């Protein structure tokens, strides 16, 4: 059989790996969208490197756009197979992808205004909301740890990987020509000791492993400190400077972690009496879905639920859905905390909040997760004097703070612990994906020192034989 890497190859976005069995049957591990890669983004998302009509199955690791965001285009371009994921992942992606389609259509509308003035060919969105609804019929839930016979060649198991609600290690037992091969795909690995979710679970011995490497060259701050770090920034910005704390946060995962931390601070009697806004219709919907999947919560949260029925709600919390209410926040100069998507500050309402608040020294913009190097979030992390937003230069007078303790991605310590359930000598090959090139090189050195015999960093569209 063969595996080809059509995304997240020497980059951290567009996760998409195609396995072809000897009998010609093909399946995908993830079907993610490329994000934040500048002019390259559009052509990368429009060119597959394979024929979607030839794919029989998709196995999804989790519901982040860079792992599932091209599913509607896959179906639009001919896929008619089955998409397997955990129930929580299926619930989230139905909301997530409708939001993604809306963004696609809005972005295309604004791009075409300029192209029309220039007499250039108009663009079409990658997909529409109707295209998203077309994928629902192909979604099939699989529960954690359940062994599912997909067909005579494939058995699927999903193991909780603790990254976001419903996230999973994909473990496949592949039988062909009388031989059995096991393949594990990490998706994105969560952190051990996560305040809400289970720690990554062990998985059976694999012949081949495809593993992410987002933070494969560093250690995060201790996860236990993130509520204290959050509180310090609230106090400094809102109480001392009398400004706004603006937090770009992914709708899936990071927003819920923030709300849980703020609720925890209130239970401890430490939360300052301020207005806290979640300005993202998507985040509001996802938070409700997360509440419906307590099976993903760790023991601490399960225990908390006995006395606090909603660990994501607290005094002073306001959910903002209406666009006009969102715009009104920009003319309200009272100290407050604004949590808004997107997490990389590349799109959505948070980009407007940053543009509105970045020239005010009283404000703070707090980056709490990974940002693709070309994204606005990544540029802000470099503490520039000026930054372009919506094509307009802005003087950076607000404080820019990075909170590493809140990362939902494993660091190299977590990744090595995740792989500790494997006998390194029995693994025939490890493929490193979903990371920047220099990070992947460092992570490869670390895995070799751990005893893995063959560690490979694929290039985009590169194909390898595995058996």
pLDDT of residue 26: 98
Q: Among positive and negative, which fits the CA dihedral 256, 260, 262, 266?
A: positive
Q: List phi, psi (to 5°) of 49.
A: 90, 0
Cα 338 to Cα 369: distance, rounded to the nearest angstrom:
16
Sheet holding 336-340, edge to edge: 317-320, 275-279, 336-340, 244-248, 364-367, 399-402
Return mean pLDDT, the chain: 93
Tokens found for residue 441: 């090189």
User: Is residue 35 over pLDDT 70?
Assistant: yes
Question: In 3-state terms, what secondary structure has residue 87?
Answer: helix
72: pLDDT confidence band, cut at 50, 70 and 90?
very high
441: pLDDT confidence band, cut at 50, 70 and 90?
very high
Cα 292 to Cα 295: distance, rounded to the nearest angstrom:
9
- Count other Cβ atoms within 10 Å, centred on residue 353: 25
User: Is residue 104 over pLDDT 90?
Assistant: no
- Count other Cβ atoms within 10 Å, centred on residue 194: 21
Question: In 3-state terms, what secondary structure has residue 183?
Answer: strand
pLDDT of residue 249: 92
pLDDT of residue 346: 83
List the beta strands (DSSP E) in 36-153. Answer: 55-59, 82-85, 139-141, 148-151
Q: What is the DSSP letter of 277?
A: E
Taking alpha carbons only, the member of 156, 125, 154, 132 closest to residue 142 is 156
pLDDT of residue 224: 66
List the beta strands (DSSP E) in 261-409. Answer: 275-279, 317-320, 336-340, 364-367, 386-389, 392-395, 399-402
Q: Among positive and negative, which fits the CA dihedral 401, 405, 410, 416?
A: positive
| Residue whose tokens read 């529409």 | 128
| Residue whose tokens read 């619930």 | 91
Cα 290 to Cα 283: distance, rounded to the nearest angstrom:
10
197: pLDDT confidence band, cut at 50, 70 and 90?
very high
pLDDT of residue 25: 97
**Radius of gyration of the CA atoms of the chain, in A:** 22
For residue range 413-423, what is the model confidence (pLDDT) as tens digits? 999 999 999 99
pLDDT of residue 253: 86
156: pLDDT confidence band, cut at 50, 70 and 90?
very high
């Amino acid at each position: 059989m063969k595996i080809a890497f059509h995304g997240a190859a020497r980059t951290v976005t567009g996760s998409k790996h195609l396995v072809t069995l000897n009998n010609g049957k093909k399946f995908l591990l993830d079907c993610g969208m490329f994000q934040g890669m500048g002019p390259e983004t559009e052509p990368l998302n429009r060119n597959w490197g394979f024929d979607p009509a030839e794919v029989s199955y998709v196995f999804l690791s989790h519901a982040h756009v860079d792992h599932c965001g091209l599913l509607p285009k896959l179906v639009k371009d001919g896929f008619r197979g089955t998409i397997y994921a955990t129930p929580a992942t299926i619930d989230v992606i139905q909301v997530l992808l409708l939001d993604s389609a809306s963004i696609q259509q809005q972005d295309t509308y604004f791009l075409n205004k300029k192209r029309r003035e220039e007499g250039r060919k108009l663009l079409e969105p990658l997909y529409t909301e109707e295209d998203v609804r077309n994928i629902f019929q192909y979604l099939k839930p699989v529960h954690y740890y359940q062994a599912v016979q997909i067909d005579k060649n494939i058995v699927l198991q999903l193991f909780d990987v603790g990254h976001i609600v419903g996230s999973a290690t994909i473990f496949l037992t592949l039988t062909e020509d009388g031989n059995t091969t096991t393949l594990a795909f990490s998706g994105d690995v969560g952190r051990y000791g996560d305040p809400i979710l289970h720690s990554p679970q062990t998985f059976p011995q694999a012949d081949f492993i495809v593993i992410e490497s987002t933070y494969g060259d560093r250690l995060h701050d201790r996860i236990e400190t993130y509520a204290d770090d959050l509180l310090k920034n609230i106090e400094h910005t809102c109480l001392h400077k009398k400004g706004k704390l603006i937090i770009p946060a992914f709708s899936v995962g990071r927003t819920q972690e923030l709300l849980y931390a703020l609720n925890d601070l209130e239970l401890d009697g430490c939360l300052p009496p301020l207005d806290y806004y979640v300005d993202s219709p998507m985040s509001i919907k996802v938070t409700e879905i997360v509440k419906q999947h307590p099976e993903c919560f760790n023991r601490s949260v399960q225990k908390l639920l006995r006395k606090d029925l909603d660990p994501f709600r607290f005094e002073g919390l306001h959910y903002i859905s209406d666009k006009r209410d969102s715009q009104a926040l920009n003319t309200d100069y009272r100290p407050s905390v604004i949590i808004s998507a997107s997490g990389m500050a590349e799109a959505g309402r948070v980009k407007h909040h940053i543009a509105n608040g970045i020239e005010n020294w009283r404000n703070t913009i707090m980056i709490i997760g990974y940002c693709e190097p070309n994204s606005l979030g990544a540029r802000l992390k470099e503490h520039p004097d000026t930054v372009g937003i919506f094509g307009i230069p802005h003087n950076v007078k607000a404080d820019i703070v990075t909170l590493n303790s809140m990362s939902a991605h494993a660091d190299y310590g977590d990744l090595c612990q995740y792989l500790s359930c494997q006998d390194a000598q029995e693994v025939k090959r490890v493929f490193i994906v979903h990371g920047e090139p220099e990070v992947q090189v460092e992570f490869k050195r670390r895995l070799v020192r751990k005893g893995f015999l063959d560690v490979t960093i694929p290039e985009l569209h590169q194909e390898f034989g595995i058996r």
